[in-house]
Chain A
Amino acid sequence: MRVTFSTSFRETMADVNRAAEELAASERQVSSGRRLNQPSDDPAAASAVISDQAALSQIDAYLGASDAATSRLTVVDTTLSDIIDKITAAKTAALGARGSAQTASQRDAAAAELQGILEALVGDFNAQFNGAYLFSGTSATTPPYTMAGGTVSAYQGNSQTMAIDTGPGRTTQASFDGRSIAQGSDGEDIFTVLANLVTAVKAGDSNGIGQGLDALGRAFDRATLAQTQVGISLNGIEATRAQLTAARLDVASRISKARDANMAEAISAMSQDETAYRAALAAFSRIGSLSLMDYLK
């Protein structure tokens, strides 16, 4: 078989080029830290990385939503605590004012305290988070109760609630129907009850005070129930958050496995390719170094 100079040249050149191409690819892996620098490196892995990145982003969105829901519910919780405290204080004042041993001024003082509690409760029910009313149902721009000239309006919100997605398939209620706490299934809301109680205390009306105390007791139960439910929601968010964090770690490591290079392997491959390239270059420099022409005089 005839071997010509141009055959040797062309074949060795092709080998040098191939070795250089492989060396460049390994160097790229080492310098970028990735085995997936373009989709053609591993199309299936590229496609999987895209889907996984989207999943990661969604988990992060849920975590953000959990934070937002937690903030909102913490405000609700604090407000409900305050409402419960106020109702307790109202009960104490009303109890103290009952009985024939009370003087008019003592009853007036109790009535004034009850009036103060009424006004404070309006403020509580009108609690806001970032400018949106928390106890108005979904009418977040309308305050649930307004006070005008000493009288409290009827409930101005609605009974729908708004929920936030805090995890896959998990929702958390984030706004509340104020009426269900203030009035529930009673005939009068707590403001009317308190207003009647003020009148009853001033007049020393034991029956009236008794009815008011009963109504306050029911309001206390409703507020405590609401607070318990908020507490359950907050716990639920924490539990979901723990699951989400674990899931996030899984997805992130899946992405890394598909996309990132194993540095030890990549560096060892790079030095192997470098050796191969060096050998190819050395072989190339030998072509044509031996020739019959050297021996002819």
Chain B
Amino acid sequence: MSDLLGSLSVAARSLDAQALGLQVTGDNIANVNTPGFARRTVDFAEVPPDTLGGPGNGVDVVAIRAERDAFIEAQLRYEQPTQAREQAIADSLSRIQAALGDPGSSLDAVLTQFYNAFGALAQDPTSAVARQQVVVQGQLLATTFHDVDFRLTSAQQDADAQVRASVDQINALGAQIASLNAKVSGAGGAANESARDQLNQALRSLSQLIDIGVVMQADGSATVSVGNGRALVVGSNAYQLGVAPRAGTGFVDITAGGFVITGEVTGGALGGFLQVRDVLLTDYRSRLDDLAYGVATSVNAAHAAGYDLSGNPGGDFFVPPTAVAGAAQSLSVSAAIAANPNLVAAASTPSPGDNGNARAIAALADAPLAGINASPVDAWAGLVYRVGTDAQVAAAERSMHDQVVQQLEKLRDQTSGVSLDEEGANLVKFQRAYEANARFFSAVQTSLDVLMQMVGT
């Protein structure tokens, strides 16, 4: 049965539908640069006819869907933490490298000058100038050790500050995810594509900060866990991470629910900063301390075996370090010797012209230090090599993971990205459909007018 009035409403509905299509296309074009945006598509469906075999009742909009690939999103969340971690390590190490100075003119040059000063003293053991020079070089060596240790400690404090800042950011993102979860799982949440987009973006940003485990629930909300399954966000509840200062260093541990989880965080920028602060820099500082302790102890031992200008046995040249840890920071020339260079024990017998001990100390430049089994300069070279290799490896890893993430983002774009050409074609599609439906509307309207004219008067 024909139904002209019914056709009018069909036309009206279809105009609405095509206009909606235009609107969605416009929304896609507007959001071409929005991060995390998944392009929307309109699902049309035919409205079934009133009676079987009759004409259909036009078009209806079933849903406005977002095109997403959940697998790619999950892969990105999986790969991002490693890339962010290596980035954090590479950035920190490039600053630490600068702290080590130029190869050949840093602590190694000062070490060589120190031993050479004893060599110069050996050439003229009674010379006041040579003795003063030995003291000056000893003080310079101590100062240089302090400087390098200070720079490494500052780098550690920087990393600690970054750890604290990352925890703050993680907590902020956690709160955001919790509120987005509420929107997505609440009333009307199934259709709230923009909230889902924001949720994905927040999860992505969070994965750059820390390695997370995400389980997407059936209602669209995300359950986020960190470390060994510690809950960060469950539904609309966010559980904050805390920081607890460690005794002695003032550096912070990460806590979740009161438990310390520092060892469980391995990925993301937070993992990178923890690695730099707790593993890498601790190793570098302990190597520096080993070197300072070795130098101070070996020089003191040799010095004590000699005699000073007055024929008395030599005392300590450096203030004996109390422990290996902190030896670099506390190294100093003994006050007695600094005040009176004649106490420098250059002789190996109680004669003022004997230079045997000065020669022996000068020869320590090549002697392996106890415990390190390398000469002082070689021990420093070993530290520089370690830092250089770590930096090189971090840069290579970051570059490799950059490529992986880039590939994944390309795959994500294939599904969810807005292609301006495609949207342009869609504009034409909906525009022409709108024109055609409008024509249908006026055709029906003209037919109705004819009918009215027939029936009236």
- Interface set of A (CB-CB < 8 Å, partner B): 1-7, 10-11, 14, 36, 38-44, 46-54, 57-58, 61, 64-65, 68-69, 130-133, 136-141, 158, 160, 162-165, 174-175, 255, 259, 288, 291-293, 296
Contacts and interface: CB of A to CB of B under 8 A. Distances in A.
B94 A164 contact: no
Contact of B125 (A7, A140, A255): A140
A131 B126 contact: yes
Contacts of B450: none
B124 to A, nearest CB: 6
B351 A137 contact: yes
Contact of A38 (B98, B406, B413): B98
A47 B382 contact: yes
B388 A6 contact: no
Given A39-B384, A164-B123, A296-B428, 19 more contacts: A2-B415, A40-B388, A50-B380, A53-B105, A53-B109, A54-B111, A58-B112, A64-B123, A65-B119, A65-B120, A68-B123, A131-B127, A138-B351, A139-B352, A140-B126, A160-B351, A165-B362, A175-B353, A259-B103
A5 B349 CA distance: 84
Contacts of B402: 14
B126 A160 contact: no
B353 A50 contact: no
Contact of A138 (B111, B353, B365, B422): B353
Nearest to A292: B424
B103 A49 contact: yes
Interface stretch (B138-146, B286-294, B389-397): B389-397
B94 A40 contact: yes
Contacts of A41: 388
A96 B119 CA distance: 51
Interface in B373-403: 377-378, 380-382, 384-385, 387-389, 391-392, 395, 402
Contacts of B421: 291-292
B173 to A, nearest CB: 22
A68 B353 CA distance: 15
Contacts, number: 192
Contacts of A158: 351
28 contacts: A2-B417, A2-B422, A4-B414, A4-B420, A5-B32, A6-B413, A10-B406, A38-B388, A39-B100, A39-B388, A39-B391, A40-B93, A43-B385, A47-B384, A50-B104, A53-B103, A54-B377, A58-B365, A61-B119, A64-B120, A65-B122, A130-B124, A138-B349, A139-B352, A162-B355, A162-B356, A165-B362, A291-B420
Nearest to B386: A43
B418 A51 contact: no
B395 A296 contact: no
Interface in B78-109: 93-94, 97-98, 100, 103-105, 108-109
A179 B103 CA distance: 51
A49 B112 CA distance: 14
Interface of B: 32-33, 93-94, 97-98, 100, 103-105, 108-109, 111-113, 116, 119-120, 122-127, 347, 349, 351-356, 359, 362-363, 365, 377-378, 380-382, 384-385, 387-389, 391-392, 395, 402, 406, 409-410, 413-415, 417-422, 424-425, 427-428
A72 to B, nearest CB: 8
A52 B109 CA distance: 11
B103 A36 contact: yes
A57 B392 CA distance: 29
A39 B97 contact: yes
A36 B417 CA distance: 43
Most chain B CB inside 10 Å of its own CB: which residue of A53, A136, A162: A162
Contacts of A130: 124, 126-127
B174 to A, nearest CB: 27
B381 A47 contact: yes
B420 A288 contact: yes
Contacts of A7: 409-410, 413-414, 417
A138 to B, nearest CB: 4
B359 A165 contact: yes
Most chain A CB inside 10 Å of its own CB: which residue of B103, B351, B387, B424: B103
A61 B384 contact: no
- 7 tightest Cβ-Cβ pairs between the two chains A and B: A140-B353, A39-B388, A43-B388, A4-B417, A40-B391, A292-B424, A53-B104
Contacts of B349: 138, 160
B109 A43 contact: no
Nearest to A49: B103
Contacts of A140: 125-126, 351-353
A160 B347 CA distance: 12
B119 A165 contact: yes
A296 B424 contact: yes
Given A39-B391, A43-B388, A138-B352, A65 B103 contact: no
B422 to A, nearest CB: 7
Given A7-B417, A57-B109, A160-B354, A138 B126 contact: no
